[in-house]
Each structure stands twice: as structure tokens, then as C-alpha cells.
Amino acid sequence: MRSATAAIVTVAMPSSTAMASAVSSTCGRLRSGPRCCARCRGRGVFGGTAPCRGRTAESLPMTSNISAPRSRFLLVSRGEDQLPTSANNNATFMHETARGAEMTETLFNPKTYDFAEFDAETRRILRAVVDWFEARGKARLKQDDRDRVWYSEFLDFVKRERVFATFLTPAALANGDPNKRWDTARIAMLSKILGFYGMSYWYVWQVSILGLGPIWQSDNTAAKQRAAALLDSGEIFAFGLSEKAHGADVYSTDMVLEPLADGGFHATGGKHYIGNGNLAGLVSVFGRRADKPIIDSAKALEGKPAQEDYAGYLFFVADSKHPAYKLLRNVVDSQMYVAAFDLENYPVAEADILHRGEAAFHAAMNTVNVGKFNLGFGAVGACEHAFYEAITHAENRILFGHRVTEFPQVRSLLTDSYARLVAMKLYSERAIDYMRSAHAEDRRYLLFNAIEKMTVTRQGQRIIEDLADVIAARGFENDMYFPMAMLGLFGLPRLEGTVHVNMALSLKFMANYMFHPADAGLAALRYLPGAGSAPKGAVRAAAGALSWTSRGLASRAGAAVPKLATELKRAEYEHIPTRRDAADDEFLFHQGPSSGLGRIRFADWRPVFEKFAHIPNVALFLEQARAFQTLLAAASPTREQQRDVDFLFAIGELFTMLPYAQLILEQAEIEHTDPAVIDQIFDIFIREFAKHALTLHAKPTATQAQQHRALDLIRRPVADSARFANVLGRARAHAGAYEMNP
Ligand SMILES: Cc1cc2nc3c(=O)[nH]c(=O)nc-3n(C[C@H](O)[C@H](O)[C@H](O)COP(=O)(O)OP(=O)(O)OC[C@H]3O[C@@H](n4cnc5c(N)ncnc54)[C@H](O)[C@@H]3O)c2cc1C
């Protein structure tokens, strides 16, 4: 059992106006800071009991306490809460449900956060990383960024404190070190910290993760031990997949391996955009044999290639210091080194080969699956730092006799930005649990991971854009972290698979996610005459009835139809607990074929939303989601549309909001997130859903039925000025709460 800890941070509130707005919407009694009292928790406003009585906003002091993250753990013996085999720990630590209530609603403050959810060594390392940046200070951080200084001092620190060695060595290669394991929760936390201080620092870590991916997945024990030893001695790693001519079309690699008569190969070809390619102890390189076939990528999008078409692919390790490894240049203007390099008759021994044939291809995809998860956490960290800077500046700047935070458009921008950021954090926290609990029969993480990459980073980009509108010129000054966040957040959605590539991936899950096997009746909607063009009310009634009856009758139908029973069984999952336990996530290196995505089943999403239907904007969003389900049933994309990425993108924007919202609600339940904040998050979601619906309606290729049904998705969020003021107050309460050491 770990101990409970609680830290209180004193935050100077710049104005009583801010605080007044923070509380006026809830019960008027404060336990700590802008939070409503424990008994009321905002329910006085949001559909619960009568508001409690107490101090009024006016009587509040000018300083307030914001509760810092507080963590408590509950040791649960194996049994009902037993984890899948991938979590090979002897006991499961589950967060007590109260845990994290403050964590997500209060932005991450590295100076005060205690990392209490982790074990002692993890806490020590995370604290050491924060202290390293804070001791170095902001002026130096900015100077090194400006001068594009290679971060050798940071890497010396990483080596000294065994940061990468401890966090990136799987338990199987730990060689007796009890602290080494591949633990997605602490990897995510470090990704967030590095994003908080600078995306360049995040990048050197991120590409080391990618470089290690094909190695840890390999059966080549000698290569794995070599990598573990290099990691232990403080080396960094690189992932050599991209080529200048081919971009996302990795099928068409021109890194060619000529077989040698006495075994092994000579590799010749170029790689482009390879992070750490200047210094990596090992570079995992993807290439093809000269004597075997590879896929014709021009046909690859038509259907799944045959297994023999993969025969030529190879993954091998190269040493960046070898004379046949020709480092050409850094292709970006940055502290980070994104290399172009050539191999010229580079000798590849059998001992250097990691994967052959189709396995090499899967290793590439599965590595990206592991790596791209961190992009969302880098984005969260960067946005949190940028938010502190923006809110502190705006709160203290007086124009025309007003604080900038009091201008109406700024109030909207800040409230939305804060709610978006809390949503990103809620989603990401819950996505960790699905990643860590994944196993061969539960691959839902593949969807949640694509959304972590694509949606969380794009939400982050939106936050930075909105905050830039709030602070205007200040966002460009050279003593601000903000410009680093602007560049970083512009890059994250576009790298390691563009948004379009991740959207195409996500769409493969749409049918199974949207329609639970019990929805067979709802699918019948498409056969109802006129379902595409009938009035909204009639279609909604028919869809509701079909959905209700088919869900209600699922067990009886399953008993009668064996195939449906199997389908229903496949959509049943054990509850996924919170996963911050000290387990080794070894399944991530045994993910198996990257294909078969259409067979992955999802649990019914509706009950998660129904639990929160007392919150007005969640109820409205659920209506939109149901209408979208009806659209898909009554006016599904035609065969032609299913090949049109532009059209599908509009559908994908709508679809991916559902799993995003689902995990947010799941985490909100765990953390007891304040209903006011949830309501504000869903206010944003309703607007965005309506916007995407209009985009779909306007697509030139949309059928009449799709145009019609798309308009059914448009709703107006429930406005609530008290709730808005409450959330704005929470955002403003972060002014002055964190400032990096000078
Ligand atoms: C700073 C930085 C660091 C990087 N680090 C690494 C690294 O360490 N290792 C590494 O291997 N790579 C790395 N990359 C490469 C990065 O992963 C690629 O940029 C990315 O895979 C996309 O390739 P591309 O940029 O060449 O775009 P392209 O592949 O040229 O894509 C161009 C456009 O075509 C679209 N498109 C592509 N395929 C399809 C499709 N099937 N259907 C519809 N649209 C499609 C894309 O969405 C995009 O809009 C890095 C890049 C940068 C800029």
C-alpha cells in the first residue's frame, strides 16, 4: 500500500474579479480554491441536490489554495480485478476513485507535483529531470534553442541518472535491475515533462523509443543484449524508416541489401528525416533484399498484398560510427538532429538482422504504434507550459482599463482552451490504461492510440492558436517558451504518420465501434424505404426503436443465432482498471500482425454516455452521436466514397469524436471530475460535431440522403453563464501558479 500524499500550493490571485467568477456558478462555499465544496461538487447547479450554503464569493481572500495532484492507491489482490496476461505483475495497484480529481483539473506544475503514483526510483528520476531543467533555467533553455546547441549536457545527465536505461529497457533484459521495465505510464509522464520544457528534448527521447522498437520486438537475442548494454552506457537510438523519395509510402524502400556469398549483406541506399542519426549507438534500418520481391505500392491500396510479396523486407541495425555510414546533414534548423544519411556497401552481418519478410513490415508498424502514443503526451506538456505563460500574461495586462482576461472574446478563448486541455489530459490518462491492458484478444488500443496521436495533438494545436490570439505579440518574444510550443504543436499532428494516415487507420474501426453486435436491428434501417430522406423526427423514432429493441433482445437473439452469440462474446471485455502499477508492458513487443483490424470488437459505447446524461451537454452530444449512428445505418458511404479519403475524412472527424469523448467520460468517472468542466468540454464537442456535420453536408460527393441526415447532427449547446464563469475562473486561477526558474 502506498501512502497518501497531498500538497497544497499557494497561488496568488491577481484579482478578486477572477475569484468571484470562479465561484459564482457553484455553491458559493469553497473548500480549496475555485473548487466547489466536497459535498456539493457543483451538483447544486448540475442536476443534483440543493446547493450548500456557506461563504460567498465576496468574502474570499485574495489568495487561494489550489490542491496539487494527490494520489492514493489501493492494493487489489488478483481475482475479479485480475489483469490480462500482459500485465505480469503479482498484484495490481488500482487508483482509488478519488485519485486524480485535482490532477486533471489542475494543470501539471512540475515544481510541486510529487509523482506519487509511481515507485520510489521512478519518482527520483522524474524529479531529477524536472530539477535539471529548473536548475538550468529558462534563459539558458531559450539560448540553446536559439543557437541550436546539440544537447550533450542533457544527454550526460540522462546517462548519469540512468534515465533512458531505466525507463526503456524491458524487464526481460534488465539483468537483475529491479527498476528497469517498459512501463507506458511512466514513459508517458516523462514524455509530458520533456514536452513541457521543450519539444527538442522530447524528440531525442522519442526517437530513441522508436529506434529500440524493432530491436525489442526481435528474436535476435544478441542484438537485444547489445542494445541493452548500449542503453545502459547512456547511448541514444534512431529509427531509420523514412526515405526522401517515398514519405508515407514505406513499401517502396530503396535501401537495398545485396546478399553476400558467405552470408550477410551489403546495404546501399539513403535515409532521410532520421532523428538522432548523427550519434545513435544503433540505428534500426528498414530495407529490402535485392534478390526477393517486395510490394508494388501502387497496388497496395487496392487490397491486402499476398504474404510472399513481403519476402524482400528486412530490418537490421547499423552503427552510426561505422565508416560505411555516411552522415550527410541535419535536414532541419533545430537543436535536434534529423539526419539524412547514406549507407554505402554497409556490411550487414546475420547478427545485425532483426526481422525478415512480413515480420519486418509488422515490426515497423508496431514500433510506430508504441512510439506515436507519446506525441499526445508531448502535446499536453507543451500546452500546459504555454497555458501558464498565456494566462499569467493576460491576467496581468491592463488595456483600456480592463484586464485582458476580461475581454469577452478572451474569456471564450480561455475557457475553451482550459476545457480542451482538461479533455486532452482526461483522454490521455485513460488511454494509458487501454495501452497497458492490451493483449492479443483486446486490441482496442490501436484505435485509442491513433486518436491519442491525431486528436490530442490537434486539440493541442488549436489551444496554442487560441492562446496566441489571447497574448498576441507576447507569444513571439524571445524570453517566452511559447514560440517553442507553437512550432512543436504545428509539427506533432503531421509527424509519425500524418493526420490523414491516422484517420484512415481509425476508420477501419468505425463499423465495429459504432455498431455493437446487438445493433443488428439498427442496421436494418438502410432497408426501410425513405430512411435517407424522411423527416428527422420519424427517422429518429425508427432508429431509436430499432436500437432499443435490438439491444434489449440481444441475449435472446444471441441464444437463437450462434453467429451473433459469438459476435456478442467478442464484444465483451473485462473492465479495464486504472494502470499505474509497476508492470512491464511486454505485450507491446509481441503485438503480432498489424493486420486484422476489422475483426477488433468494441464494447457498447452508449452506457458510458448514458451515465453522464444528467449533464446537459453530454445528453445533447449523445443525441448527436445517435443521429450519426442513424446516418451511418440509413445512408452509409457508397463503395466509391469508401475510396475517397476526402469524403471519408469528414466521416472520420465525426466518428473519432465518440471514442475521444468515451475515454474522457471514463476518466472523469474515475477522477470525479467536476460536472461544470465536463459540461464545458461537451459544449465544445457539440459545436465541433455540428461543424463537421456541416462539412459532410457540403461535400460535393455526399448523396442526397447523406446531405439530409448530416443536418440532423447539428445541435446548439446548452448555454449556462454560471457554468461558463465557473470554468473561466478555474482557468484564471492558474495565473502566476507556475513560472520556470529564470
Ligand atoms: C522533424 C522530423 C522528424 C522525423 N523523424 C523521423 C525519424 O526519426 N524516423 C523516420 O523514419 N521518419 C522521421 N520523420 C519522417 C516522418 O515520419 C514523415 O514526415 C511522415 O511519415 C510523413 O511523410 P512525409 O512528410 O514525407 O509526407 P508524404 O508521405 O510525402 O505525404 C504527403 C501528403 O500525402 C498524404 N498521404 C500519404 N499517403 C496517403 C494515403 N495513403 N492516402 C491519402 N493521403 C496520403 C499525406 O497525408 C500528406 O498530406 C521525421 C520528419 C520530421 C519533419
Q: Can you give the three-state secondary structure of 287-354, one letter per residue?
A: EEECCCCCCCHHHHCCCCCCHHHHCCEEEEEECCCCCCEEEEEECCCCCCCEEEEEEEEEEECHHHEE
| Residue 444 to residue 603: CA distance in whole angstroms | 10
Q: Is 241 in the pocket of ligand 1 (CB under 6 A)?
A: yes
Its sign, for the CA torsion 149, 154, 159, 162, is negative
245 lines ligand 1 (CB under 6 A): no
pLDDT at residue 298 in the model = 87
Q: Identify the helix (H) or strand (E) that includes residue 274.
A: strand 265-275
Q: How far is the CA of 272 from the centre of ligand 1 (A)?
A: 11
Cα–Cα dist 189/487, whole Å:
21
Contact of 290 with 256, CB cutoff 8 Å = yes
Helix (H, G, I), strand (E, B) or coil at 399: strand
Q: Sketch the domain layout of the chain as residue ranges.
A: 120-359, 604-736
Ligand 1 center from residue 247 Cα (angstroms): 5
Q: What gap in Å lies between CA 345 and CA 257, rounded to an integer? A: 9
Query: Atom 25 (ligand 1): residue with closest C-alpha?
Result: 247
Output the nine-digit C-alpha cell for 135: 536548475
**Among 377, 444, 425, which Cα is nearest to 194's?**
377
Nearest to 99 by CA among 678, 672, 665, 675: 672
State residue 566's pLDDT score.
Answer: 72
C-alpha cell belonging to residue 30: 469553497
Helix (H) or strand (E) holding 265: strand 265-275
Helix-then-strand count for the chain, H and E:
28, 14
Nearest in space to 133 (alpha carbons), one of 371, 477, 481? 481
Distance from the alpha carbon of residue 243 to the mean position of ligand 1, in angstroms: 9
Q: In this structure, what DSSP letter does residue 91 have?
A: S
Distance CA 359, CA 349 (A): 18
Ligand 1 centroid to Cα of residue 504, in Å, is: 14
- Say which residues have a Cβ less than 8 Å from residue 623's Cβ, sequence separation at least 6: 715
Ligand 1 pocket, residue 338 CB under 6 Å = yes
For a substitution probing ligand 1, which of 484, 498, 505, 647 has the most ligand atoms within 8 Å of its CB? 498
Residue that the C-alpha cell 545485396 belongs to:
258
Rg value, the chain, Cα: 26
Angle between helices 499-507 and 645-671 (to 10 degrees): 80
Strand ranges (DSSP E) for 377-520? Answer: 398-399, 402-403
Query: Collapsing DSSP states into helix, strand and coil, what is residue 239?
Result: strand
Asked whether the beta carbons of 51 and 45 are under 8 A apart, the reply is yes
CB atoms within 10 A of CB 640: 9
Closest atom of ligand 1 to 203 CA is 3
- On whether the CB atoms of residues 439 and 114 are closer than 8 A, the answer is no
Per-residue pLDDT of 708-737, as tens digits, reads 999 999 999 999 999 999 999 999 999 999
d(CA 178, CA 213): 21
Please state, in angstroms and rounded to a whole number, the distance separating the CA atoms of residues 228 and 188.
21
Q: What is the pLDDT of residues 12-21, one digit of tens each?
A: 222 333 333 3
* Mutation test residue for ligand 1: of 454, 496, 499, the one with most atoms within 8 Å of CB: 496
645 lines ligand 1 (CB under 6 A): yes
Asked if 37 and 27 count as a contact pair (C-beta separation under 8 A), the reply is yes
387: helix, strand or coil: helix
Report CA torsion sign: 273, 275, 277, 282: negative
Q: Which residue, by CA, sits nearest to atom 24 of ligand 1?
A: 247
458 vs 636: CA distance, rounded Å: 27
Of all atoms in ligand 1, which is nearest to the CA of residue 498? 47
Distance 501 CA to ligand 1 centre (A): 9
Residue numbers in the chain where pLDDT is lower than 70? 1-103, 518, 520-529, 531, 539, 542-543, 545-564, 567
Cα torsion for 659, 662, 663, 668, to the nearest 10°?
160
Distant-in-sequence, close-in-space partners of 252: CB < 8 Å, separation ≥ 6: 245, 246, 294, 297
Measuring CA to CA, how many Å separate 83 from each of 575, 600, 657, 727? 9, 19, 28, 37
368 to 270, 496, 728: CA distances (angstroms): 20, 7, 37
* DSSP code at position 672: T
Residue 651 phi/psi, 5-degree rounding, is -65, -45
Give the three cell numbers for residue 400.
483600456
- The response to whether residue 204 sits with its C-beta less than 6 Å from ligand 1 reads no
Q: How many Å apart are CA 400 and CA 257, to the nearest integer?
A: 68
Closest CA to 384 of 440, 446, 307, 459: 459
Residues in the chain: 742
Give the C-alpha separation, 74 to 92, whole Å.
9
Other CB atoms within a 10 A radius of the CB of residue 692 amount to 23
Cβ neighbours for 180, distance < 8 A, ≥ 6 positions apart:
165, 166, 169, 170, 171, 173, 174
| pLDDT at residue 522, rounded to an integer | 64
pTM, two decimals, is 0.86
495 lines ligand 1 (CB under 6 A): yes
Q: Would the CB of 112 count as within 6 Å of ligand 1?
A: no
Of ligand 1's atoms, which has the minimum distance to the CA of residue 239?
9
pLDDT for residue 557: 64
CA nearest to 217, candidates 236, 239, 248 = 239
List the residue whose alpha carbon is closest to atom 4 of ligand 1.
Answer: 273
What are the grid coordinates assigned to 144, written together? 540553446
Beta strands 282-289 and 256-259, pairing class: parallel
| Cβ(274) – ligand 1 distance below 6 Å | yes
Q: Cβ–Cβ contacts within 10 Å for residue 298, how many?
A: 10
CA–centroid distance, 563 to ligand 1, in Å, is 41
Contact 254, 245 (CB under 8 A): yes
Atom in ligand 1 nearest the alpha carbon of residue 210: 8
How far apart (Å, rounded) are the C-alpha atoms in residues 378 and 205?
11
With beta carbons less than 8 A apart as the criterion, state whether 102 and 422 touch.
Answer: no
Choosing from 273, 484, 508 the residue with most ligand 1 atoms within 8 A of its CB, the one to mutate for a pocket test is 273
The minimum-distance atom of ligand 1 relative to the CA of 501 is 47
Q: Are 391 and 734 in contact (CB under 8 A)?
A: yes
What is d(CA 248, CA 501) in angstroms, rounded to the nearest whole number? 8
Chain centroid to Cα 185, Å, comes to: 12
DSSP annotation of 452: I
8 Å CB contact between 315 and 360 = yes
**Alpha carbons 639 and 503: distance in angstroms, whole number:** 18
Q: Whole-angstrom Cα distance, residue 92 to residue 99?
A: 16
Tell which CATH classification among 2.60.40.10, 2.40.50.320, 1.10.10.10, 2.40.110.10 matches the domain 120-359. Answer: 2.40.110.10
CA of 493 to the centre of ligand 1 (A): 11
